[in-house]
Chain A
Amino acid sequence: GENVEQHPSTLSVQEGDSAVIKCTYSDSASNYFPWYKQELGKGPQLIIDIRSNVGEKKDQRIAVTLNKTAKHFSLHITETQPEDSAVYFCAASIPQGGSGGYNKLIFGAGTRLAVHP
């Protein structure tokens, strides 16, 4: 069935260290993998995404890697700062067909990242 597993559920790092969050998806048809950051009491914010024809994508201190064979993708945050503290969600798209080309997103359960000064 449609499933995205995300690990770890909580992650605590010192400021300046790196943080890595990993996700595994089940549907081989998935071709889009976004990462969202959610601060307390707010809606999720799209921070980076990757498509299945790319193995890695970087944007300043964040990067995402994708291994389609293993159905794994990961978020890497370098030089972490206290403002990186939030809950991070991964997601994988599932094509639904139809005239609109709708792609359903299946979300992982989230990782609560705490960056300590």
Chain B
Amino acid sequence: DGGITQSPKYLFRKEGQNVTLSCEQNLNHDAMYWYRQDPGQGLRLIYYSQIVNDFQKGDIAEGYSVSREKKESFPLTVTSAQKNPTAFYLCASSTLWRYEQYFGPGTRLTVT
């Protein structure tokens, strides 16, 4: 069953704690992305990676970090430096040189 998986679906953390969101894909896609979605807003790009061991900041990278040690995996860490971490986080992937991005089911993070 090919696709993108994100875990967990719901995540609760206390302020001041770092938290890591998982994203795995078995589509053999080279590029992977992390977006943040807030109510009433479009998706905003946090980080993206086109190849293993390389990644680029998106529009709202402050307070977030990523790694890309394997082609299939692109975990996102929400650090305590992120001022408003409560949001719906979406991971996506695509092949290189093609435009279509495919999304995972998302992780809803609540920080109190």
Contact = CB atoms under 8 A, between A and B. Distances in A.
Contacts, number: 63
Contacts of B100: 34, 46, 49
A32 B43 contact: no
A89 B31 contact: no
Interface string A18-45: 0000000000000010101000011111
Interface in B51-95: 51, 58, 90
Interface residues of A, number: 29
A57 interface: no
B2 interface: no
A73 B86 CA distance: 32
Interface stretch (A58-66, A74-82, A104-112): A104-112
A4 B42 contact: yes
Interface of A: 4, 6, 9, 32, 34, 36, 41-46, 49, 51, 89, 91, 93, 98, 100-110
23 contacts: A4-B42, A9-B40, A32-B99, A34-B100, A34-B101, A36-B103, A42-B105, A43-B4, A43-B90, A43-B105, A44-B103, A45-B103, A89-B42, A98-B50, A100-B30, A100-B97, A102-B50, A105-B45, A105-B101, A107-B43, A108-B42, A110-B40, A110-B42
